[in-house]
Amino acid sequence: MTKQELVQNLQKYLKSFGLGLTFNNMDDIDTKLLNKEIYKLKLKKSITNT
């Protein structure tokens, strides 16, 4: 798997969870924003499960 394919697969995976983060390569990923979005998903799941 090439780096470009990895980036595309990661974007598809994130999009499937409602995360519309866009980036062209792994260095462009804003990890702070990514962690914030993951936290929101966990919070949403936690609220749904209660």
Alpha helices in the chain (DSSP H): 3-16, 31-49
Mean pLDDT of 21-45: 85
- Provide the domain count of the chain: 1
Please state whether the predicted TM-score (pTM) of the whole model is above 0.75.
no
Q: Which two tokens stand for residue 25?
A: 């390569």
1-26 pLDDT, tens digit per residue, is: 888 898 889 888 888 888 877 888 88
CB 18 within 8 A of CB 41: yes
Expressed as residue numbers, the domain containing 45 is 3-49
For 24, list phi and psi in degrees, rounded to 5: -100, -25
What is the predicted pLDDT for the residue at 44? 85
CA distances from 35 to 5, 15, 30, 31, 50 (A): 22, 15, 9, 6, 23
Predicted confidence band at 31 (pLDDT cuts at 50, 70, 90)?
confident
